[in-house]
Structure 1
Amino acid sequence: MTIAHDDTHLDGAPLDGIRPDDGKAGSAPVTLTMAAALNLALADALTADPEVVVFGEDVGALGGVFRVTDGLTARFGEDRCFDTPLAESGIVGTAVGMAMNGMRPVIEMQFDAFALPAFEQIVSHVAKYGNRTRGQVRMPLVIRIPFGGGIGGVEHHCDSSEAYYAHTPGLTVVCPSTPQDAYSLLRAAIASSDPVVFLEPKKLYWTRGEVDTTHRVEFGSARAARAGRDVTMLAYGTAVPLALEAAEAAAAEGRSVEVIDVRSLSPFDDATVIAAVRATGRAIVIAEAPGYASVASEIQARVSERCFAYLEAPVRKVTGFDVPYAPPKLEHWYLPDVDRVLDAIDTLQWEDES
């Protein structure tokens, strides 16, 4: 698959690497696309720690399919950011060896379903080495996976496989929805001594937002994206801007909707989510992935168990359908949309409609 790009960074800067003054402590916040925020996080990590290396398919001279690694090879050299053969299991296996020997590899899987040939390595080795060695061998490894739909990608290029990783003990799984969280969560992931699966919503690569490089985010912390009193929407990745759009539409119909960006799938921020749902008494979980045996199902179950006495209605979920991901011209029928979210809100047993 070939995706065309112009001769600039996704933040509009020329293809000559991140400006050297970006990201220094005390510098003013900058407005960046999510892709540029990830690029800056990688550049700052490479600058700060000589043990950090970045590699994967086409991440070197090309700068990655989505230009997330653009300019890094030119700035840091081919020994710090380099291309690999088209062999995902080999990429992960090499990263495991590096991490066991004190390096901090950051690898790219290029597209979500491309990671599946490496799934055995991730589940059997990446996730288990710390437990297998009783903590004597740590695994400071970040697996970057562009995931989700909304870009018109063909088969194997638009999957939502987060449930596989969140289900695997030993893996931290995070998913930003803003440029700020993209920067802060990636810096935290690279600094971690344990493996992190870093899910990057492809549809949001070109969204813009302010990035403060001094801002830190801890794993297991959700983010309040919008205040509301009638119903709480719980979302992550591309579902967050959808939830915010639906909240605006619901406000026009007289419903005050809170939006919580889960952002950390494992570990999960039970405290923030439970407090939010107990306050509103109603909840909807939104995600792109199929709904059966999903992260959305787990969130739905946790909320139902912990907020049962506070709920005015059953917890609903709005997800992708339980079918293989739709082809490009049909994906708008597959992905959750505002109308489906508003329909879910209407089922929440409102007293003024009884």
Structure 2
Amino acid sequence: NSPLAEASIVGVAQGMAIGGYRPVVEIQFADYSFPGYMQMRNEIPSLRWRSGGDWTCPMVVRMVCGGYIRGGPFHSQCVETLYAHTPGWLIAYPSNAIDAKGLIKTACRLEDPVIFFEHKGLYRQVFSKRPEPGADYLIPFGKARLVREGSDLTAVTWGSGVIRCERAAEELAQQDGVSMEVIDLRTLVPMDFEAILASVRKTGRALVAHEAILFGGLGGEIAARIAGEAFEWLDAPVRRVAAKDCFVPFAPSLEAAVLPSQADVTNAARELARY
């Protein structure tokens, strides 16, 4: 057990990684990763680059993140954008148990540092469960999962957004006759832009759904890449669904008003299909 000192947790892990170990450490809440941010921004991800490839830093930092649990502003944050904007980190963000196993086993075998996000709202959920895949099950980084095939629009998502997009796709299929393709990115760095672009070129419409705040979120990066590389195939503007520009409140009614709801995702998809 380590002390509740995030700078020490990641700092010691870096030293162990340089010394030949492959540490896997945990920061209990991503909201409290910031005391260790100097190491996580300046020291750990830059080591291979600074040493011209002579040194590596193979370590995994597990971070529990996300809301919908009435955790308030300090136990509900989604901080993937901050770390995705830091060169050198690989970032995994699974949406279910089988992907979590395959990705973390792969992470432990990589030579670069990995941030492994675990959404606490997905723990102990029936829809997150999957059959045990076996001891040697690995998932490569940078390969998205096709959750549901469709032809009318594409939903790109990760983490807690996957189940909401799945439910939206089912409702649209039953009530509107709309076929929505759902892509679970699984890793954010590297990101499977090939899968995103191939799907959008097929469907002509794109919805990006994530739990982090809309402004400056990864949805903007994805939308820009779609606009830049698949513009000729688009039949509608790229649509984003995300949290409002606000901290996550404690009160359940206010938390529900800030974080993207099932209705937000479903309505956005329906409006996009009708565009």
How does the TM-score come out when normalised to structure 2?
Answer: 0.95
Matching of residue 210 in structure 1 with residue 131 in structure 2: yes
Deviations 1:269-299 (A, max 9, x none): 1111110111000010000000111111111
Matching of residue 268 in structure 1 with residue 186 in structure 2: no
For the residue of structure 2 that corresponds to 1:144, the secondary structure is strand
Q: Tell me the distance in 1 between the aligned counterparts of 2:270 and 2:2.
A: 50
Please tell me whether the aligned partners of residues 241 and 265 of structure 2 are also in contact (alpha carbons under 8 angstroms).
yes
Q: Tell me the distance in 1 between the aligned counterparts of 2:141 and 2:34.
A: 24
Tell me which of the two structures has the higher relative contact order, counting C-alpha pairs closer than 8 angstroms and 6 or more residues apart.
Answer: 2
Q: Which residue of 1 aligns with 2:89?
A: 171
Counterpart AA for 1:229: S
Q: Which residue of 2 aligns with 1:337?
A: 261
Partner of residue 70 from structure 2, selected from 152, 167, 190: 152
Q: Which residue of 2 aligns with 1:32?
A: none
For the residue of structure 2 that corresponds to 1:287, the secondary structure is strand
Please tell me whether the aligned partners of residues 27 and 64 of structure 2 are also in contact (alpha carbons under 8 angstroms).
yes
Partner of residue 282 from structure 1, selected from 188, 201, 205: 205
Q: Tell me the distance in 2 between the aligned counterparts of 1:219 and 1:349.
A: 31
Please tell me whether the aligned partners of residues 183 and 211 of structure 1 are also in contact (alpha carbons under 8 angstroms).
no
Q: Tell me by how many angstroms 1:128 deviates.
A: 0.4
Please tell me whether the aligned partners of residues 142 and 196 of structure 1 are also in contact (alpha carbons under 8 angstroms).
yes
Q: Tell me by how many angstroms 1:216 deviates.
A: 2.1
Counterpart AA for 2:109: A
Q: Tell me by how many angstroms 1:342 deviates.
A: 2.6
Give runs of ≥4 in structure 1 deviating > 6 Å: none
Please tell me whether the aligned partners of residues 138 and 194 of structure 1 are also in contact (alpha carbons under 8 angstroms).
yes
Q: Which residue of 1 aligns with 2:170?
A: 248
Deviations 1:79-124 (A, max 9, x none): xxxx111210011111111001000111100011111111111011
Matching of residue 198 in structure 1 with residue 116 in structure 2: yes
Deviations 1:150-204 (A, max 9, x none): 1121331110000011111100011000111000000011111110000001111
Q: Tell me the distance in 2 between the aligned counterparts of 1:349 and 1:236.
A: 21
Q: Tell me by how many angstroms 1:349 deviates.
A: 6.3
Q: Which residue of 2 aligns with 1:313?
A: 236
Please tell me whether the aligned partners of residues 312 and 349 of structure 1 are also in contact (alpha carbons under 8 angstroms).
no
**Runs of 5+ consecutive residues of structure 1 not aligned to the other structure:** 1-82
Q: Which residue of 2 aligns with 1:5?
A: none
Matching of residue 225 in structure 1 with residue 186 in structure 2: no
Matching of residue 86 in structure 1 with residue 10 in structure 2: no
How does the TM-score come out when normalised to structure 1?
Answer: 0.74
Q: Tell me the distance in 1 between the aligned counterparts of 2:274 and 2:14.
A: 52
Q: Which residue of 2 aligns with 1:47?
A: none
Please tell me whether the aligned partners of residues 204 and 238 of structure 1 are also in contact (alpha carbons under 8 angstroms).
yes
Q: Tell me the distance in 1 between the aligned counterparts of 2:132 and 2:265.
A: 29
Partner of residue 121 from structure 1, selected from 39, 42, 46: 39
Q: Which residue of 2 aligns with 1:33?
A: none
**Runs of 5+ consecutive residues of structure 2 not aligned to the other structure:** none
Q: Tell me the distance in 1 between the aligned counterparts of 2:178 and 2:259.
A: 23
Q: Tell me the distance in 2 between the aligned counterparts of 1:275 and 1:319.
A: 23
CA RMSD of aligned residues (A): 1.2
For the residue of structure 2 that corresponds to 1:149, the secondary structure is coil
Q: Tell me by how many angstroms 1:328 deviates.
A: 4.3
Q: Tell me by how many angstroms 1:211 deviates.
A: 2.6
